[in-house]
Amino acid sequence: MISKEAITKRFISYVTVDTESDPKSDSTPSTSKQWNLANALVEELKSIGMTDVTIDDNAYIMATLPSNVDHQVPTIGFIAHFDTTPDFTGANVNPQIVENYDGSDIVLNAAENIVLSPDYFEDLLLYKGQTLITTDGTTLLGADDKAGVAEIISAMEYLIKNPQIKHGKIRVGFTPDEEIGRGAHKFDVEQFGADWAYTMDGSQIGELEYENFNAAGVTVHVKGKIVHPGYAKGKMVNSMYIATEFINSLPRMETPEHTENYQGFFHLYSIEGKVEETVLQYIIRDHDKDHFEARKEVMQNITNEINSQYEREVIAIEIKDQYFNMKEKIEPVMHIVDIAEEAMKQLDIKPLIKPIRGGTDGSQLSYMGLPCPNIFAGGHNFHGRYEYVPVESMIKATEVICKIAELTATR
């Protein structure tokens, strides 16, 4: 049985190390502080008995658990990332432990009146009677994805201590910079050497995902002309008004707050504006490849139309693909999803097979030749002060890893 105390201690030791990534940095990892946890993980992997433990110049970690069966078994992998999002601070994380949660409000920070309430976060009620780890209301927690890291290492330690559980060769990998979209960029799939893998980077217990958004990032540069406002008639061109025209030309209801399930969206997440220049930052997301391409075309057509109206280029648009729906790469090898589903069922976990309204390292890795579905890590409300994780969910995720290894070796 996985020790509740041990996995809690391990998880807390990870989240109290600041590993926030930085999208403005060109280095890998994007912040030097990610090395602090990366180097500690290397030593921990060695200490529990993993072999071939390596860390490269970009902080990508790999290690091996050798097979303990005498027949040929596919090599499988488990992958998680150790950085946290730059969207909300991950410095000075002070985890709070709520034993035997009773379903009531949890006061995260009395001084600032920050409350984690089931009236707003209904999923809390799924975990009555369980042990929750929360924030203190001033930082994120880091369960995305340090819960996944803790689960993978705990599973490897358990398999090493229990050799009666049969398994083939298992590879584990930990990556930096997933939260800024670069987690798989320098991942050496050939060196990893797995036939397939699973990212432990999902949320609610039972989640099993092999579909994700197609994704693109869009930068819209709007050009204006600045002159003294007292003498501006017929001369000033206010880029912010033109930017507003662009924004209002997109379908208002096709935004994150109005969409769900397989519905795609345009998301304006940043505006920096002055009279002379305004810069809009968008992301485009859609599960359907044709719809995804159509969304990019819509934005280009709006650009062309506004430029035509002004009879010059007032808008320049740059669209960059980020990742694609891994469904295309997973469907030909659906047995890898079936194994994970069967593992959950054998552990009395109801599989929740649904599309990811986002992306994981697994989406990029699948297109790099490593089919890689995503499995729950247990956390909720990622990237903010209301993040929490039930300890029992982390234990179940650890058991799923062990069961997948066993099923792969005995099928």
Which positions are catalytic? 83, 178
Token code pair at residue 278: 């305004």
Peptide bond into 145 cis (omega under 30): yes
- Is residue 161 within 8 A of residue 14, CB to CB? The reply is no
Measured CA distances, 411 to 67, 72, 336, 352, 395 (Å): 15, 11, 12, 23, 24
Measured CA distances, 367 to 29, 216, 323 (Å): 22, 16, 9
Token code pair at residue 253: 């209801």
Amino acid at 253: M
| Beta strand spans in 161-313 (E) | 170-175, 196-202, 207-209, 214-223, 265-273, 277-286
Cα distance between residue 325 and residue 288, in whole Å: 8
Cα distance between residue 8 and residue 391, in whole Å: 7
Helix (H, G, I), strand (E, B) or coil at 3: coil
DSSP for 307-356? HHHHTS--EEEEEEEEE--THHHHGGGTHHHHHHHHHHHHTT---EE--B
Cα distance between residue 112 and residue 128, in whole Å: 25
Cα distance between residue 80 and residue 179, in whole Å: 11
Owner of token pair 């946890």:
37
Cα distance between residue 182 and residue 161, in whole Å: 34
- Is residue 222 within 8 A of residue 241, CB to CB? The reply is no
